[in-house]
Structure formats: C-alpha cells, structure tokens
Structure 1
Amino acid sequence: MQYKFPENFWWGSSASGPQTEGRFPNDGKGDSIWDFWYQEEPEKFFNGVGPEKTSQVYKKYKEDIQLMKKIGHNSFRTSIQWSRLIPEGRGTVNPEAVKFYNSYIDELIANGIEPFFNLYHFDMPMTLQKEGGWVNRKTVDAYVEFAKTCFELFGDRVKKWFTHNEPVVPVEGGYLYQFHYPNEIDMRKAVIVGYHENLASAKAIEAYHAMNLPGEIGIILNLTPSYPRDEANPEDVKAAKIADAFFNRSFLDPAVKGEFPEELVTILKELDMLPEIQAGDLETIKNNTVDLLGINYYQPRRIKAKETPIDHSHGPMPDDYFDNYDMPGKKMNPYRGWEIYEKGIYDILTNTRENYGNIPCFISENGMGVEGEEKYINADGQIEDDYRIEFISGHLKYVSQAIAEGTNCLGYHMWTCMDNWSWMNAYKNRYGFIAVDLDQDGKRTIKKSGYWFKELAETNQFEA
C-alpha cells in the first residue's frame, strides 16, 4: 500500500546544541548544568563520556549539512545553547557564539534546509542554576532576555522558533525522578519549575510577536498518551486522566489554550502547592499561546488505579494518584526499555484536531535508540538498520491517516540526524540516520535508513 504526504511537507531531523556541539578551546562557552554535573560525577555518565565529547558539530557543521542534504532534509531543528551565547546566563554575549550560529544558519539556508531553532533544551547555565535555576522567578526574566537576544541576532533568517523542548523533563528529571541535575525529589519545587517554564514560554512568545518578525513561534512537547488499563473501569480511567494532566496537559493546555488543566489545579490546591502567581501572569499565559506545536512521541503511558501503597518518604508525588500498568504482550524496544505503539502518534494528532483547535503541528521527534548497532554493519561498512526503517514507517502510516482525516500536521522530524550524546546515557543508544565513530574523530557514515529517508523525502510517499 502507498502512503502519501502533502507537497512541501517538512522532512528532516532534530537535535540540540548541548548534545551535538561539543566544547573547544577559546569557544567562549560557559558551563551549563551538564558541564558542571559531568565535572562533579563523571561516573554517572555511560562509559564516562561527557558533553565536551559530543559529535563536534561546532567544527563539523558544514560537512554535516552536506550529509543532511544527501539524505533528503528540507528542514532541521537544533537549539541555541544559552550557556554558549550568554555564558553567565545574563549579561555579555559571546561573539564566538554569534559567529558560529550565524554561519550555521546561513549554511543551512544556502543548502535548501530551513532552520528550526529551539531556545531551551535542558541546558540551564550553571551561574543561574546556583541561584535556583527555574525555581527562581528571576530566571524567567533572564530567559526572556536570552530569547530576545536570539530573535534580534538571528530572527531575520530563522522563521521557526520554539521556546522549550520537552519542558516537563526538567520538572521530572530535576525535581521528581532524579535523572537530570540538580537531581532532587521535591514536588513543591517541581511545580514551581513547571509554572516558571510556562510563564517564560508565554513571555518569550509575547516578545517575539512584539518584534514583528517574519516567522512563527511555538513549543515542542513530548506527548505521551495515558491509556487506562481497562476503559470500562472508571477508577482506571480517572487515574489515566490525572496522569495525563500531570505529564501532558500541564504544558499542552497553557501553550495552546492559555490555561492550566482543572484536574491539576484541584490537586495542587488540595496539597497547598499552588505556585506564587503574580499579577498579570495568568493574562500573559492566556494571551500568548503558540503559533505552532511540535510533538515528540516515543512511547505510550499505561495507567491503572492506585493499588500499591503510597510512599511518603519524599512527600507528595504524582504517583500517589495512579500506578503504571505493565501491559502483557506489548511490543518493546528492548534496548531502551520502551514500548513501541505506533497508533499513539495517531491518537495524539487526532487529539490536537478534536480538542486543540486543529493547531498547526508537526512531529518534531520520533525515533528508536539501539545499543550495539555495530553488529549490523555490512561488508561495505554501512549499518543496516532495517528496524529503524520499520519503526519510522510504522509511525508514518498513522501520521498519513491523521492527515487524511484532516489533522493539520505539517512535517516529520526524526530524532536524530546523526548519533548524538544523550545526557547520562551518553552514546549508549544510537538514534541517528548517520553513524558517528567516536574512535575515529567522529567520522560520519550514512546508515541504510538515511538512504531510505532520502527517497521518502523526495517522493513524499512510501510503500509498505
């Protein structure tokens, strides 16, 4: 069967500054929380690989853009590292960073690849983190100044901006489940972080629109549909709705509708954990919603009514209201430990059409991390990643169906262009269309999926 996509569909991939650029002598970059954490506890990072050893895009971006072109990209998303552009988080702009990002943007455009730029991808400048990071209201002001600086420097050429990538992750990772710095368990702080990120996003959107630049601005959310164990069981359904309010609608609703989900507000009121809301905040959030929604989708969330005892050792947690359900017989990516459920992408897109005004959106990340890909190298030195082609096409079938039913989905970006550093996992799981050999100075080799993607992007269709 043939699956078709509209003309001018955005085909490409996504990455981030902190996961790709690396650090080099005299580049002027300041420390982010990742640089600091790696210096403090390098043993926490897979094989001891830290952010200074990423895929060296800072030096190799021209070569990389030629490879993007070769595998059919017409668009590409990355991020501007706050700690590279403004090393202390506020104040002096780093001229080396301006030179680098200008050249990177110009090179993409010269090769027919539209640059999509995100502003915050988990990389808080360490100077600001020492003052509390997102827990500190002053960080919102520093972020808005950073955003304005980016718009002024690059907004004449970059027409697609995003305020945050996966803003729920600093909440979960930094303040609930301990997989990002500062590695705390404190739901009160987690709520404040989420609130300040939402406010910062709205204020950056307000600043962007006030500058009358020729583009649009949105946000990128990792939407993880919450499916109840049993649709006929009201307690399971209620638990799934609460999980959805915590992890999806906490950012989706304010970003698109300008308001916070009622279920979440009710719970936080009961816990006496509502953040400090200053005069004008809620109007700012209401009046500055996104032009465009990026959707990252990797896996579903399976939920059942709370059956296990509540663990009070760290105070309240979202998990006090539901249990995760280990559904028998689910399809898995064994390397990442994530369920593969292709229809989830269709359910998300249908939800944007039916409940969020059919907002213009695109799949901004979707991908499959695999450990030990070198075992799939053929005689020609190419990785035969048929599993990745199967993963992408399985999801794209559902994207195609959602578009046919009227969803306003404008593109598909895979995570990621080339294998990149992935936080504490470093290079454990590889995600790219292009392999990166760390032992050979980051040598790049296109995988089988890259050539498959080129044909898809050139014809706007595939057969399966």
Structure 2
Amino acid sequence: MTTTPTTEATPTTEATPTTSATPAPAVAPAASLRPFPAGFVLGAATAAYQIEGAAHEDGRRDSIWDTFSREPGAVLGGDTGDVACDHYHRYRDDVALMARLGLDSYRFSVSMARVVPDGHTVNAKGLDFYERLVDELLGAGVSPWLTLYHWDLPQALEDRGGWTARETVDRFTDYALAVHDRLGDRVRTWTTLNEPFCSAFLGYTAGVHAPGHTDPAAGLAAAHHLMLGHGQVVRALRDRDDSLSLGLTLNLTVADPVDPTDPRDVDAARRVDAQMNRVFLDPIFRGAYPSDLLEDVRGLGLERVVRDGDLAVISTPIDVLGVNYYQGEALSHRPHPDAPVTEAVTARPVRSPFPAADGVFRHPRPLATTAMGWEVQPEGLTRLLERVHAEYAAPAGTELYVTENGAAFADEPDGDGLVHDAARTAFLHDHLGAILDAVDAGVPVRGYFYWSLLDNYEWAWGYSQRFGIVRVDYDSQERTIKDSGHAYAAIIAARGLPGGSPAADGP
C-alpha cells in the first residue's frame, strides 16, 4: 500500500495463537443483500517485506528497505521488517486464517531480495518458501495472486543505480522468469509491479520511502524504467505461457480542484493527475506520455532515458489492471491556512513526490479521517473506476480489480482480547458499496482485495499504524480476528453487501 504523497507538501511452522474477536455475524437475509456480480473475487492482500520477517534466513540479503529502515530518522521509532509478522515461519497458520475467513484469493508479493539476493543469482531456498506458500494456499482452496515487485529491490542492485539504471530492467526480467519457472504451473494471475508511483516518486524524489533520494530527475528515470521492466516482463511471461493473466497494480487518486471555477486550482489538480495517474496509465494503455506531463517536466531529464522502442514495450497489452485506492484529494494553487507544509512522518528531510508541482497544495475537507489523517472518501472510488474503465480499460479489453483498499485505525483489544473496530467495518462496507455503485453504472469490476489481511510494518510509519482485519500482537505473534474480519467473512459467505445501502456521499 501507499504512504500518502505529500504535496508542497524448510522452516517448521510454529503454532500461532489465534483468537476470535466475536462470533461471526449472521448472514443477512437475501432480500436485504446487495449482491456482487457472479464470479466477483473477494480477497485480501499483503506484501513480503511488511509481513515475512526472516530478514537474513535461507540466503536472503538486504533489500533497499532493510538499508533504509536503519538510517536514522527514516522510519518512525527506528522500526525494521526483520521480524514483522514472522509470516515466513507461520505461513501455514496464516493460510488457515484465510480459509477461515473464506477468502477467494490472496494477493501476496515475492521478495526479490529473497529470490535473487545479489540481484542476479537465483537462491533456490528463497523460491522454496514461495512454493510451500502457494501449495498451502491451493490446498486451502485460496487462489494465489502473485505480485513480483512490492518495493524490496536487492540493495546490491541499488548500489549500481537501482531503478534509475537501465540494467535493473533486465535483472527484473531474469528474476521474473526464475519465479515463473518454479510457480508458473500453479499461479495463474501475475502482476509485475505494485504501485510504481511509490517506488519511483516516494523513493527517489520525495525521500520518504527507500532508497530515500530527493531528486525529481531520479524519480522520473525510475518511473520509466519500472514501466519498461513491467512491459518487458509481460512479454517474457507471455512467451512462456500465453494462458496467464498478466498485468500490474497502480495506486491512483481522484484529484479535484478546491475551486472548480478558478483555472489555477483546475491546473493544480491537472498537474497531480498527470504526475500520479496519467504518467503510468498513458504509456501503458496509449503508448505515449501525456503532452501536458512532458511540458510540466521539461528539463528534468525524462527525454534522456526514453529510447526508441521503449514505449512499444511499455504498452504491451495486459489482461488485468489493479486499482489501489485509499483517498482522493482537493488541490489548490494556494496553501490551506491550517494545513502543514509537508506531511513527513519523521524529521528526515523530504520533499514533494511530484517532480514538477511546486505551488500545488492539498486542502483538508470536512470528511472523516483515518488514524493516518487520510480522508475517507468512498464515492471517489466510484468516480475513479468509472474514469479508468471508460478511458483506459474498456478500450483495451482489460479487466479491472480493486487490489488494495483499507484504513488504519487505532483499534486495541478490550479486556477480553476482542477487537471492536467499527470504523474499519464501516470503511469496508462503504467502499464495497462504492464498487457496486460503479458496477451499477456499467463498470465490470471483477474483484476486491482488502488491505491488509494482517496488521504489519507500515513502511515509514513502522508498526505505529494498523490496517489489518486480523490483529497481530508483535510481541507474542498472536493473531486475533477483528470485528471487521468477521464482518468481511460474512459478506464473503453471503456473496453480497448487507443492507443494500449506497456508499457514503462525497464532498
């Protein structure tokens, strides 16, 4: 999942204690259900570095996040992913939890640092773990959805330039084929990248994610090479097996002008839309960068990294697009008088992730917020899905899924160890409702993955924020299904949304 961008802002499985937060809610009568389309996938998602731990076991070496998390001031509390949720040792129990919740599918990432620790040599023990995990999922009736890259580039590759270096594209392709050689007979859905915006612009331009650079030109180079790596891997995997479902996942926003009658606010929203959404959507679906984006970033070096033929590779047709959505944003050319200039988690120097959006400011709106200050805006998801379908997915014949959506709240167990997270339960209900609103408007959304299955390491926020429908006690590693987890299990069992109410109104 994404940190909100600032604008100028053969291990044996240990027994995992698991408690139940309340009896599972009764399935609502059919008459009061808002049904999901036939075949609609209901799942949950995680990422390798955020849950696996076992940072230096079985040949794994440091990723950029191992390095970054040890830099003073980079991560709140100095937290690292060395242990995280210890999923590497407890995966069997976690898969049993997924089956108990009734998940149709589990979206997980493979750690590049575990599979090719030095950036190019395949580590068989690393692949062994993912083979065990996939077999466990299939045995439990949970379909595996595999993401090849969720931000854990081997540090050895970063030492040679990371995603700013063209070499990384080829190393990423070699790695993807090694994973496919082991798992291609059992995993049918493969996504190349999770949220390249975060990898490129939070990591190389904003400085809030690994590797922690603050260079707009580096972010643009990284974004281009990430997309080139995506297209090259799609071609390579399709050559291996043209029956695979292939694509990627983008975190997208709904950029609204604070004053739609003010052309300066309209332009502020346009710039953020160009530099967060269309910088990826247009090359992938249209084979070209948007002309207004190119004008925005003129002089920042993008033209120096784009070579003849690159955009043809990037626009290789895909089968599936994952949309990650957490909130939209209201944007203006003027700062809000009560808003901070930046939203940095720690004291480490950072800048805006947008390479060319000086003078663009986010304004808070009268909406509920999560523990991280993110606005709760379900209707924005409806609008986003309608737009992406109409402008990109439908013309290309690409299937749409919501592959991440979730919220952090400061939920704590009560005296009986139960977790009553009513705000998260409402968030889940309202965003599923927003998806059904899009379906009613003609958008054939194919599925939804809640972020996250487990509380986990929330990047620069460390362990201070909890997104899970299952609580993790990081001292004992006890898992507790929260009320939201039971509510989701009931929704999955019923194949419909209780109450039939529409998503909450937006601004």
Q: Verify same fold: TM over 0.5.
A: yes
Residue identity in the other structure for 1:5: F
- In the alignment, which residue of structure 2 is the partner of 1:175? 204
Runs of 4+ in 1 over 6 A off after TM superposition: 313-316
Question: What's the offset of the Cα at 1:382?
Answer: 1.4
Question: What's the offset of the Cα at 1:268?
Answer: 2.6
Give the whole-Å Cα distance in 1 for the aligned partners of 2:301 and 2:250: 27
- In the alignment, which residue of structure 2 is the partner of 1:45? 75
- In the alignment, which residue of structure 1 is the partner of 2:45? 14
Distance 1:319 1:283, change over 3 A: closer
Deviation per residue, 1:119-158 (Å, 9 max, x gap) = 1111110000011100111111111111111122111111
- In the alignment, which residue of structure 2 is the partner of 1:329? 366
Give the whole-Å Cα distance in 1 for the aligned partners of 2:351 and 2:421: 42
Is the contact between residue 472 and residue 479 of structure 2 (CA under 8 Å) also seen in structure 1? yes
Is the contact between residue 239 and residue 306 of structure 1 (CA under 8 Å) also seen in structure 2? no
- In the alignment, which residue of structure 1 is the partner of 2:347? none
Give the whole-Å Cα distance in 2 for the aligned partners of 1:213 and 1:157: 14
Q: Percent identity of the aligned residues? A: 31
Alignment of 1:315-394 (within 5 A): 318=355, 320-333=357-370, 335-358=371-394, 359-371=398-410, 373-374=411-412, 377-394=413-430
- In the alignment, which residue of structure 1 is the partner of 2:486? 451
Three-state SS of the structure 1 residue aligned to 2:248 is: strand
Residue identity in the other structure for 2:119: G
Give the whole-Å Cα distance in 2 for the aligned partners of 1:427 and 1:272: 37
Give the stretch that moved more between structures: 229-238 or 167-176. Answer: 229-238
Give the whole-Å Cα distance in 1 for the aligned partners of 2:227 and 2:140: 35
- In the alignment, which residue of structure 2 is the partner of 1:215? 244
Question: What's the offset of the Cα at 1:306?
Answer: 5.7
Give the whole-Å Cα distance in 2 for the aligned partners of 1:73 and 1:253: 33
Give the stretch that moved more between structures: 276-285 or 293-302. Answer: 276-285
- In the alignment, which residue of structure 2 is the partner of 1:289? 317
1:109 aligns with 2:138: yes
Is the contact between residue 10 and residue 411 of structure 1 (CA under 8 Å) also seen in structure 2? yes
- In the alignment, which residue of structure 1 is the partner of 2:27? none
Is the contact between residue 45 and residue 450 of structure 2 (CA under 8 Å) also seen in structure 1? yes
Distance 1:364 1:328, change over 3 A: closer
- In the alignment, which residue of structure 1 is the partner of 2:18? none
Give the stretch that moved more between structures: 268-277 or 205-214. Answer: 268-277
Is the contact between residue 321 and residue 400 of structure 2 (CA under 8 Å) also seen in structure 1? yes
Question: What's the offset of the Cα at 1:272?
Answer: 5.5
Give the whole-Å Cα distance in 1 for the aligned partners of 2:374 and 2:183: 37
Give the whole-Å Cα distance in 1 for the aligned partners of 2:182 and 2:483: 38
Give the whole-Å Cα distance in 1 for the aligned partners of 2:166 and 2:400: 30
Question: What's the offset of the Cα at 1:166?
Answer: 0.5
Which of 458, 468, 480 is matched with 1:422 structurally?
458
- In the alignment, which residue of structure 2 is the partner of 1:31? 62
Three-state SS of the structure 1 residue aligned to 2:475 is: helix
- In the alignment, which residue of structure 1 is the partner of 2:346? none
Alignment of 1:430-445 (within 5 A): 430-440=466-476, 442-445=477-480
Give the whole-Å Cα distance in 1 for the aligned partners of 2:353 and 2:319: 35
Give the whole-Å Cα distance in 2 for the aligned partners of 1:153 and 1:362: 26
- TM-score by structure 2 length? 0.85
Is the contact between residue 108 and residue 114 of structure 1 (CA under 8 Å) also seen in structure 2? yes
Distance 1:21 1:327, change over 3 A: closer
- In the alignment, which residue of structure 1 is the partner of 2:15? none
Give the stretch that moved more between structures: 24-33 or 356-365. Answer: 24-33
Is the contact between residue 335 and residue 363 of structure 2 (CA under 8 Å) also seen in structure 1? no
Give the whole-Å Cα distance in 2 for the aligned partners of 1:273 and 1:165: 22
Alignment of 1:229-240 (within 5 A): 229-240=258-269
Question: What's the offset of the Cα at 1:35?
Answer: 1.3
Residue identity in the other structure for 2:495: N
Which of 55, 63, 66 is matched with 2:85 structurally?
55
Give the whole-Å Cα distance in 2 for the aligned partners of 1:364 and 1:184: 27
**Which of the pair has the greater relative contact order for Cα pairs under 8 Å at 6+ separation?**
2
Three-state SS of the structure 2 residue aligned to 1:217 is: strand
Is the contact between residue 20 and residue 420 of structure 1 (CA under 8 Å) also seen in structure 2? yes
1:68 aligns with 2:98: yes
Distance 1:415 1:139, change over 3 A: same
Residue identity in the other structure for 2:421: D
Is the contact between residue 386 and residue 448 of structure 1 (CA under 8 Å) also seen in structure 2? yes
Three-state SS of the structure 2 residue aligned to 1:384 is: coil
Residue identity in the other structure for 1:231: P
Three-state SS of the structure 2 residue aligned to 1:243 is: helix
Distance 1:176 1:6, change over 3 A: same
Give the whole-Å Cα distance in 2 for the aligned partners of 1:110 and 1:321: 52
Give the whole-Å Cα distance in 1 for the aligned partners of 2:385 and 2:299: 32
Give the whole-Å Cα distance in 1 for the aligned partners of 2:262 and 2:70: 49
Deviation per residue, 1:243-274 (Å, 9 max, x gap) = 10101111122223332222112223355542
Is the contact between residue 259 and residue 285 of structure 1 (CA under 8 Å) also seen in structure 2? no
Question: What's the offset of the Cα at 1:182?
Answer: 2.7
Give the whole-Å Cα distance in 2 for the aligned partners of 1:186 and 1:413: 33
- In the alignment, which residue of structure 1 is the partner of 2:159? 130
Residue identity in the other structure for 1:12: G
Alignment of 1:146-295 (within 5 A): 146-269=175-298, 273-286=302-315, 288-295=316-323
Give the stretch that moved more between structures: 423-432 or 353-362. Answer: 353-362
Give the whole-Å Cα distance in 1 for the aligned partners of 2:276 and 2:472: 33
Give the whole-Å Cα distance in 1 for the aligned partners of 2:53 and 2:276: 31
Question: What's the offset of the Cα at 1:80?
Answer: 0.5
Give the whole-Å Cα distance in 1 for the aligned partners of 2:66 and 2:445: 36
Question: What's the offset of the Cα at 1:340?
Answer: 0.9
Alignment gaps of 5+ in structure 1: none
Deviation per residue, 1:423-443 (Å, 9 max, x gap) = 121211111111111121x11
Is the contact between residue 369 and residue 376 of structure 2 (CA under 8 Å) also seen in structure 1? yes
Deviation per residue, 1:314-343 (Å, 9 max, x gap) = 89964545422314423222x201111111
- In the alignment, which residue of structure 1 is the partner of 2:498? 463
- TM-score by structure 1 length? 0.93
Residue identity in the other structure for 2:112: W
Give the whole-Å Cα distance in 1 for the aligned partners of 2:55 and 2:152: 17
- In the alignment, which residue of structure 1 is the partner of 2:123? 94
Alignment of 1:69-84 (within 5 A): 69-84=99-114
Give the stretch that moved more between structures: 408-417 or 181-190. Answer: 181-190
Question: What's the offset of the Cα at 1:39?
Answer: 3.7
Is the contact between residue 299 and residue 341 of structure 1 (CA under 8 Å) also seen in structure 2? yes
